[in-house]
């Protein structure tokens, strides 16, 4: 086999591998986490929480939502792609990534579902 043939095979298998990884990543179902269990050790991890909205703050570029469950409270950041149809007292499920901002742990929301 010549080098061009090997290069084509390597690129093709790499592309197929990346596609498979993307499909698997979309299918992974996160288990619910208690808010009190989310710590600095979880930075950049994906989590799913369920809780009640206690406060919504709107800024020019994002929404800051305080969510509490029976174990604690955390801030959820939602970037303004479209208007938010949430209100205080709503029970929501949030999937997102744990981040650290000004020494506080928060969740950058990827998906929010009103229950």
| 10-residue stretch averages of pLDDT, the chain, 115 residues long | 88 93 78 89 92 94 94 94 86 94 94 90
Task: For residue 6, give the H/E element and its range.
Answer: helix 3-27
Per-residue model confidence (pLDDT) at position 84: 81
| Spatial contact of 26 and 72, defined as CB atoms under 8 Å apart | no
CA distance 37 to 17: 34
Instruction: Give the pLDDT score at 115.
Output: 87
pTM: 0.74
Distances (CA, A) of 20 to 16, 24, 27: 6, 6, 11
Q: What is the pLDDT of residue 30?
A: 74
Q: What pLDDT is attached to residue 55?
A: 96
Rg, the chain, Cα only: 19
* Confidence at residue 23, expressed as pLDDT on a 0 to 100 scale: 85
């Amino acid at each position: 086999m010549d080098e061009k043939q090997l290069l084509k095979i390597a690129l093709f298998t790499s592309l197929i591998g990346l596609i498979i990884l993307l499909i698997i990543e979309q299918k992974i179902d996160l288990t619910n986490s208690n808010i009190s269990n989310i710590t600095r050790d979880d930075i950049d991890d994906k989590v799913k929480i369920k809780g009640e909205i206690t406060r919504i703050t709107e800024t020019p570029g994002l929404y800051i939502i305080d969510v509490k469950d029976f174990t604690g409270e955390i801030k959820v950041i939602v970037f303004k792609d479209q208007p938010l149809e949430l209100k205080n007292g709503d029970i929501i499920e949030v999937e997102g990534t744990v981040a650290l901002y000004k020494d506080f742990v928060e969740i950058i929301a990827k998906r929010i579902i009103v229950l």
